[in-house]
Amino acid sequence: MGWIRALVFAAGLAIGAGAAEAQWFSGGDGRKPPETAVEIQLSFAPVVKAVAPAVVNVYANRAVAQRPMSPFFDDPLFRKFFGEEFGAGPAPRARMESSLGSGVIVDKSGIIVTNHHVVANATDVKISLADKREFDCDIILKDERTDLAVLRVREKGVFPVAQLGDSEALEVGDLVLAIGNPFGVGQTVTQGIVSALARTQVGISDYQFFIQTDAAINPGNSGGALVDMKGRLVGINTAIFSRSGGSIGIGFAIPVNMVKVVIESSRSGGVVRRPWLGADLQKVTPDIADGLGLDRPRGALVAQIAESSPAAAAGLRTGDLILSVDGVTVDDPDAVNYRLATRTVGGKVALIIRRAGKDRSLELALAAAPETVPRDERSIDGYSPFGGARVINLSPAVAEELRISGGATGVAVKDVIPGSPANRVGLQKGDVVVEVNGERIATTRDLDKAAQAEPVVWRIAIQRDGRTMRMVFR
């Protein structure tokens, strides 16, 4: 108990140091560390009691097709000699897989937010409340790009709700609690601080902008609540950095201001419509910063602008440097994308840009990316280099969804089946097929027709990350 007495003594010294020191510790908004023995003994229990009933366990089941493995079943030569039916191997058998996560009730009617990866491909979902009641749920929205999903309880009732906070009001050093179901042991509360804000190099979702915390987050916490000291939801816990699989004090949460957009979308049709900038942005390196006369790397450099886009209409030009969005300074392209993604389609935002050494103000209208051509989504069968790929006609809307840059035109790869011919030759989600054996590919119908040919040599051209790649297969 000596360390407790020392802590109390230290607190007493802080009090005795006078009002000047107390004012120095204060953040100017009333937030300050404990200064008395009484304050040190304060408990987080009232916060937990207010929020914990709204945090649920999420159980998701999915059926996985499984068949005995053989290197011959997928070999085209084996199928050619022994027939398609024999080469297909034994009929697949369904095997059930379960995943465990957490969720937060955000509407008294039973609307729940969780992570997309918790319920991805789920055939049925169930939640369990802190009071042990269980309910079946429907998935009403899945947004892979933010790693968020929205569930709705099938049974009518009135449920406890977590109050939504404002992630913009968070500061590094603020106390936070993480509530979830780690390792399936049951509802657990951990405490920590906001370690960092606006983490953009995490690689979890398309919108890289996370709250970092040292509150212990472990497997099973995904989809759980990160709350402030007033019991308000400020983030959805989504991932950890770990070499062991357990918490080492580096966890990440999706800011609640992003979560609000997904919740509202679930109430208005179940489709997330985000503002489209219509410009490719580039990170500012130290060398670029020196060339632009900046004191440090900051902002987002406009590298390319799509025709008839909101960026073009606002007067943005290639080479402009975006410094702020609605008065909030941005340090990189991910920060710009986040600021736009938390705004509503139909509104406007103010941009501060630097052009030719001078700062200028521009107004950007927030519009969704257009569907300029029908999607005509198709699955390519057979043993061509495209077999097993799901493809779609490219439009600004599709390019925005798949994060395709460079103003590419053609047919986009939406998904690739693992182990398929397309997977084996290295096709990836987001690739744009532009040419097959000398023929230009403009639509999914063109690609489907080209994939039915049986040439001795396949020569294909694809665009990936703005670069054209040419490949030859025999």
The one-letter amino acid at 291:
G
Comparing 404 with 224, the larger pLDDT belongs to 224
* CA-based radius of gyration for the chain: 26
Tell me, yes or no, whether 316 and 204 share the same domain.
no
Please provide the average confidence, as pLDDT, over all residues in the chain: 83
Residue 76: the pLDDT is 53
Host H or E run for residue 25: helix 19-25
Cα–Cα distances in Å, from 135 out to 11, 103, 452?
A: 48, 13, 48
- Residue 330 is assigned to a structural domain of this protein: yes
Q: For residue 77, what is the domain's CATH number?
A: 2.40.10.120
Residue 98: the pLDDT is 74
Take residue 6 and report the two structure tokens written for it.
């020392």
Tell me, yes or no, whether 127 and 239 share the same domain.
yes
- Measured CA to CA, the distance from residue 25 to residue 352 in angstroms comes to 34
Contact by Cβ (8 Å): 150, 112: yes
Quickly state the pLDDT bin for 21 (edges 50, 70, 90): very low
User: In this structure, which long-range contacts are made by residues 369-372, counting pairs with CB atoms below 8 Å and at least 24 apart in sequence?
Assistant: 369/276, 369/278, 369/395, 369/396, 369/397, 369/399, 369/400, 370/395, 370/396, 370/397, 371/395, 371/396, 371/397, 371/398, 372/396, 372/397
- Residue 373 is assigned to a structural domain of this protein: no
- Residue 112 is assigned to a structural domain of this protein: yes
Domain of 13 in residue numbering reads as 2-42
- Residue 372 is assigned to a structural domain of this protein: no
Tell me, yes or no, whether 343 and 463 share the same domain.
no
Residue 40: the pLDDT is 58
- How many distinct structural domains can be found in the chain? 4
Tell me, yes or no, whether 184 and 216 share the same domain.
yes
What string of H, E and C letters represents the secondary structure of 340-405? HHCCCCCCEEEEEEEECCEEEEEEEECCECCCCCCCCCEECCCCCCCCCEEEEECCHHHHHHHCCC
Q: Rounded to 5 degrees, what are φ and ψ at 315? A: 95, 10
- Residue 111 is assigned to a structural domain of this protein: yes
Residue 239: the pLDDT is 76
Q: Tell me the pTM.
A: 0.76
Tell me, yes or no, whether 117 and 72 share the same domain.
yes
Q: For residue 283, what is the domain's CATH number?
A: 2.30.42.10
Whether the per-residue pLDDT at 16 is higher than 60: the answer is: no
Q: Rounded to 5 degrees, what are φ and ψ at 56? A: -120, 160
Residues 296-314: tens digit of each pLDDT: 999 999 999 988 899 999 9
Residue closest to 403 by CA, chosen among 144, 141, 197: 144
Tell me, yes or no, whether 326 and 437 share the same domain.
no
Tell me, yes or no, whether 94 and 209 share the same domain.
yes
- Residue 224 is assigned to a structural domain of this protein: yes
What is the arithmetic mean of pLDDT over 49-68?
Answer: 81
What is the arithmetic mean of pLDDT over 70-86?
Answer: 49
- Measured CA to CA, the distance from residue 385 to residue 412 in angstroms comes to 14
What is the arithmetic mean of pLDDT over 257-278?
Answer: 88
**Residues identified as active-site:** 117, 147, 222
Residues 343-370: tens digit of each pLDDT: 888 899 999 999 998 999 999 999 999 8
Helix (H, G, I), strand (E, B) or coil at 179: strand
Tell me, yes or no, whether 121 and 203 share the same domain.
yes
For the chain, percent of residues with pLDDT exceeding 90: 52
- Residue 346 is assigned to a structural domain of this protein: yes
- Residue 30 is assigned to a structural domain of this protein: yes
Tell me, yes or no, whether 88 and 128 share the same domain.
yes
Q: Rounded to 5 degrees, what are φ and ψ at 146? A: -105, -5
The one-letter amino acid at 151:
L
Tell me, yes or no, whether 166 and 95 share the same domain.
yes
Cα–Cα distances in Å, from 185 out to 100, 181, 218, 321?
A: 11, 6, 11, 49
Residue 199: the pLDDT is 65
Tell me, yes or no, whether 169 and 256 share the same domain.
yes
- Measured CA to CA, the distance from residue 180 to residue 52 in angstroms comes to 9
- Measured CA to CA, the distance from residue 349 to residue 343 in angstroms comes to 8
Residues 172-193: tens digit of each pLDDT: 999 999 999 887 788 889 999 9
Contact by Cβ (8 Å): 155, 192: no
Instruction: Please say which residue of 244, 272, 300 terminates a domain.
Output: 272
Tell me, yes or no, whether 221 and 348 share the same domain.
no
Whether the per-residue pLDDT at 17 is higher than 70: the answer is: no
Instruction: Please say which residue of 239, 272, 305 terminates a domain.
Output: 272
